[in-house]
Structure 1
Amino acid sequence: MSDQNPPTVDVLVIGGGNAALCAALMAREAGASVLLLEAAPRDCRGGNSGHTRNLRCMHDAPQDVLTGAYPEEEFWQDLLKVTGGNTDEQLARLAIRESSRCRGWMRRHGVHFQPSLSGTLQLSRTNAFFMGGGKALVNAYYRSAECLGVQIRYAAPVDRLEISDGRFRAAWVGDERITARACVLAAGGFESNREWLREAWGQNADGEWPADNFAIRGTRFNQGVLLKAMMNAGADFIGDPSQSHCVAVDARAPLYDGGICTRIDCVSLGIVVNKFGQRFYDEGEDFWPKRYAIWGRLVAQQPGQVGYSIIDAKAVGRFMPPVFPGAQAATLEELAGQLALEPQSFVRTVREYNAACRVGSFDHTVLDDCHTEGLAPAKTHWALPLDTPPYYGYPLKPGITFTYLGLKVDEAAAAHFAGRPSPNLFVAGEMMAGNILGQGYTAGVGMTIGTVFGRIAGARAAAAACKQGADHAAA
């Protein structure tokens, strides 16, 4: 007997960024009818993906836009290092291996890549950059989805889900109930939900709420509504709610959608101090693309959740210039005054750092031998004295890109309930990235996870919808 109330579509995709679009395209290519619900209006579509620039890719030999080789084991070791081992190796290696097979498919859907980059970013070997950035990628995917017949609805936030015994039944947009044979959740984390951030970070010893001082680098629409819905439905979760992709951004950055241009990239070329003029971490620990995402959390742990990146004239031209000009002064005392730092403490910090520098052969493209001795915290690479005016200072605050608390999945991208995979509910992108990113980050890996698991989730959802349709037809 046929279904008396047939589902609206085969596959429902909830979300509008990279992972959601990859899922929708894969499901449609597999022959499924697809409806994509994007919470944002059309002019804000794409979630955080519009602010991205590149994809970290495994490859065993030089390729079109990638130099050298970046084999699986090296990629894995890089990920292992930045996460401190807080990662699911099976899922991580799956993402790594599949990253080598994504670019051809991406090109077929209109994504273009630019020639490999050289310079201090150290990414020409590991990361493929999108021509036109993430916004161009998102637009290309939407064009392709429309051409393939994917139904797209904007300003359609899903506020609740119907799930029974681990099986997706329906999603609700306001008073509208939308059914589907299978569903992919790819609606991002909860970084735009200030109340949830306060809950996750709590109060510090000074009675401050650190999260109140965070900028949200991406979309304002990632409120974590579906994460809460899945919690209420008894789904299995993974990750620390206080962990996130959190970088140091200019303290003058907007509250939302500041994106990459608000990042301060001169940290490794100078020192970083807190509001008391004191250093608090090794600025030269590793190459910037591997360690830039620790600095937001480090600044968040400082009094007032503020820091200051300090350089001198020798650093100018060696980093991507920020969108806001820094404070500039002929003396350290004058710079302290402009940044509202206590002059004596700040000048003492700089002088102690200068005296501890052991300058060898400075080279910002390698882990060089310029380091400090007898200083805590040490600066292990690129340690040059701050002695050449003018001096520059950039105020910092934490900028969250996406949170790592997410849904536990398996290699089929299936959501889990009490340890059992759902037969028709799949997860991709930031909603499951915590399986691989328990902490830390390395440039481009978020897009790797979203692209790989978006493709897996879409293909699996189409297969699940086909099976359910066949089962109903046979009933």
Structure 2
Amino acid sequence: MGTDVLVIGGGNAALCAALMAAEAGASVTLLEAAPRDWRGGNSAHTRNLRCMHDAPQDVLVDAYPEEEFWQDLLKVTGGLTDEHMARLTIRASSTCRNWMRKHGVHFQPPLSGALHVARTNAFFMGGGKALVNAYYRSAEKLGVKIRYESPVDRLEIEDGQFRAAWCKGERIEAKACVLAAGGFESNRDWLREAWGQNERGEWPADNFLIRGTAYNQGVLLRHMLETHQADGIGDPTQAHMVAIDARAPLYDGGICTRIDCVSLGVVVNRDARRFYDEGEDFWPKRYAIWGRLVAQQPGQVAYSIIDAKAIGRFMPPVFPGVTANSLPELADKLGLDRATFMQTLDSYNAGCRVGQFDHTALDDCHTEGVSPAKTHWARPIDTAPFYGYALRPGVTFTYLGLKVDDTAAVRFAGRPSRNLFVAGEMMAGNVLGKGYTAGVGMSIGTAFGRIAGRNAALAAAGKPALAGAVKDEV
């Protein structure tokens, strides 16, 4: 079997690549490891796309200029990002939505309580599942051959050029290939290897839950890095990690398992002690650091504590919290040492300096004389009923990936391949060295999926790759 362009993966980046290549006139085959009912990878769990815009645009209010987007990304990554690649992603996010609409994606204003991102993020009507379904429908109309339950375990590469992929014993040739098969977050053995054993003798990765697909095993990523010695980038312990409900399922819990009340209260560990500033910055810019913070705590568990004043100010989780009429009762119900818990809460409450509380702004409600400090939204937890949510690290996707340039070409010893490209989670580490800000994963996947698809079609036609984002009309 042969095809012009072979796309390996089935999520947003893979679909963008397949659509772009098909639009360019290439014959395209897409191999999705999951069954049809579970197609789409982690993209099926997404909700929105972070978009640069200089003026109001349909569902986006006000403006979110390039420099602000860049500063937001710079802050959450702590400088662990490639500015050229990041700005390419940012600029591409400003013009891609008309193309997305052409392929059946619809947008809607954010629902009430949706992370205060009406200005920065465009929400998909029906969520990521609707986006994925729209792209698959469009791909089928364009003649893309889609094969489910088709995991690829190895590639034939000669002198940096793609020749064929092996799928369940079948050799599939193509003139060009796009790798978009996700990270390794679902591979427990690899997570254990990356995180190792801590000073308490624990294997932290054993307590991680996976927010998304069970099919991102990292088989091709490891194959590329180890067998073919492709240039890599990123730290294998860095990932989009969120503090999620400890009762969430092992896989595919998605957005509804996230606990969004962290900034409205305090978080304590298994020893009933606080360990980080819950009010450091707006929740969309900080929610994805809390999984890693919890992963570093004893037993990889923590507890988000709020009181009645917080109810109605955050997106309610799918599971109800543990409820109590007093703080000592809550400690007992959560299995925490009552004396230490009360010492922590009493100290925090006494340290609160309440000004003009405003959860939509970086307000002046803060603590004094308490470590760690709470910088914003600090109010005493003193109004019954009280609520507690047990938290575990929820891994969305890992950042270890393949190093690329702005053509999305895979590189071998610094030399870009002529016909092998990569997009999505498999290269997101070029932009995300650590940290996260809401919706940027879809921005990266869309930008580089489209670049990879365009350039794969050019390679299949014997033409050189183009650098930079796909040009669209605003």
Global fold match (TM > 0.5):
yes
**Counterpart amino acid of residue 349 in structure 1:** T
**Counterpart amino acid of residue 353 in structure 1:** Y
Identity value in percent: 78
Match of residue 219 from structure 1? 213
Tell me, yes or no, if structure 1 residue 174 matches structure 2 residue 157: no
Q: Give the one of 176, 185, 189 matched to 1:191.
A: 185
SS of the residue corresponding to residue 25 of structure 1 reads helix
Tell me, yes or no, if structure 1 residue 114 matches structure 2 residue 108: yes
**Counterpart amino acid of residue 76 in structure 2:** V
Match of residue 346 from structure 2? 351
Tell me, yes or no, if structure 1 residue 55 matches structure 2 residue 49: yes
Tell me, yes or no, if structure 1 residue 142 matches structure 2 residue 128: no
**Which residues in structure 2 correspond to 1:328-339 (within 5 Å)?**
328-339=323-334
Q: Give the one of 256, 279, 289 matched to 1:294.
A: 289
Deviations 1:130-159 (A, max 9, x none): 000000000000000001100000000001
Tell me, yes or no, if structure 1 residue 267 matches structure 2 residue 262: yes
With over 3 angstroms needed to count, the CA separation of the structure-2 counterparts of 1:137 and 1:129, relative to structure 1, is same
Task: Answer whether contact 1:169 1:179 (CA < 8 A) is retained.
Answer: yes
**Which residues in structure 2 correspond to 1:19-98 (within 5 Å)?**
19-98=13-92
Q: Which moved more, 1:117-126 or 1:452-461?
A: 117-126
Q: CA deviation at 1:115?
A: 2.1
**Counterpart amino acid of residue 172 in structure 1:** W
TM-score normalised by length of structure 1: 0.97
Q: Which runs of 4+ in 1 moved over 6 A?
A: none
Q: CA deviation at 1:468?
A: 6.9
SS of the residue corresponding to residue 101 of structure 1 reads coil
**Which residues in structure 2 correspond to 1:382-461 (within 5 Å)?**
382-461=377-456
Tell me, yes or no, if structure 1 residue 16 matches structure 2 residue 10: yes
**Counterpart amino acid of residue 384 in structure 1:** R
Task: Give the Cα–Cα distance (whole angstroms) in 1 for the partners of residues 270 and 174 of structure 2.
Answer: 53
Task: Answer whether contact 1:35 1:151 (CA < 8 A) is retained.
Answer: yes
Residues paired across the two proteins, number: 463
**Counterpart amino acid of residue 225 in structure 1:** V
**Counterpart amino acid of residue 243 in structure 1:** Q
**Which residues in structure 2 correspond to 1:196-211 (within 5 Å)?**
196-211=190-205
Deviations 1:230-251 (A, max 9, x none): 0110100000000000000000
Q: Give the one of 318, 322, 335 matched to 2:317.
A: 322
**Counterpart amino acid of residue 348 in structure 1:** Q
Deviations 1:211-270 (A, max 9, x none): 000000000000000001101101000000000000000000000000010000000000
TM-score normalised by length of structure 2: 0.97
Task: Answer whether contact 2:194 2:236 (CA < 8 A) is retained.
Answer: yes
Task: Give the Cα–Cα distance (whole angstroms) in 1 for the partners of residues 111 and 118 of structure 2.
Answer: 5
Match of residue 467 from structure 2? none
Task: Answer whether contact 1:158 1:173 (CA < 8 A) is retained.
Answer: yes
Gaps of 5+ in 2: 465-474
Task: Give the Cα–Cα distance (whole angstroms) in 2 for the partners of residues 192 and 464 of structure 1.
Answer: 32
**Counterpart amino acid of residue 155 in structure 1:** E
Task: Give the Cα–Cα distance (whole angstroms) in 2 for the partners of residues 234 and 302 of structure 1.
Answer: 35
Deviations 1:176-223 (A, max 9, x none): 000000000000000000000000000001111000000000000000
Task: Give the Cα–Cα distance (whole angstroms) in 2 for the partners of residues 374 and 336 of structure 1.
Answer: 23
Q: CA deviation at 1:116?
A: 4.3
Task: Give the Cα–Cα distance (whole angstroms) in 2 for the partners of residues 136 and 38 of structure 1.
Answer: 17
Match of residue 3 from structure 1? none
Task: Give the Cα–Cα distance (whole angstroms) in 2 for the partners of residues 60 and 261 of structure 1.
Answer: 32
Deviations 1:423-475 (A, max 9, x none): 00000000000000000000000000000000000000000000179xxxxxx
**Counterpart amino acid of residue 204 in structure 2:** P
**Counterpart amino acid of residue 281 in structure 1:** Y
Q: Which moved more, 1:108-117 or 1:188-197?
A: 108-117
SS of the residue corresponding to residue 111 of structure 1 reads coil
Match of residue 461 from structure 2? 466
**Which residues in structure 2 correspond to 1:144-159 (within 5 Å)?**
144-159=138-153
Task: Answer whether contact 2:113 2:314 (CA < 8 A) is retained.
Answer: no
Match of residue 472 from structure 1? none
Q: Could you say what the CA RMSD is over the residues aligned between the two structures, in angstroms?
A: 1.0
**Counterpart amino acid of residue 257 in structure 2:** T
Task: Give the Cα–Cα distance (whole angstroms) in 1 for the partners of residues 463 and 166 of structure 2.
Answer: 21
Tell me, yes or no, if structure 1 residue 164 matches structure 2 residue 162: no
Gaps of 5+ in 1: 1-6, 470-475
Task: Answer whether contact 2:114 2:315 (CA < 8 A) is retained.
Answer: no
SS of the residue corresponding to residue 108 of structure 2 reads coil
Task: Answer whether contact 2:113 2:315 (CA < 8 A) is retained.
Answer: no
With over 3 angstroms needed to count, the CA separation of the structure-2 counterparts of 1:119 and 1:194, relative to structure 1, is closer
Task: Give the Cα–Cα distance (whole angstroms) in 1 for the partners of residues 392 and 410 of structure 2.
Answer: 35
**Counterpart amino acid of residue 152 in structure 1:** I
Task: Give the Cα–Cα distance (whole angstroms) in 2 for the partners of residues 93 and 289 of structure 1.
Answer: 20
Q: CA deviation at 1:283?
A: 0.1
Match of residue 4 from structure 1? none
With over 3 angstroms needed to count, the CA separation of the structure-2 counterparts of 1:416 and 1:95, relative to structure 1, is same
**Counterpart amino acid of residue 43 in structure 1:** D
Match of residue 255 from structure 1? 250
Match of residue 104 from structure 1? 98
SS of the residue corresponding to residue 391 of structure 2 reads strand
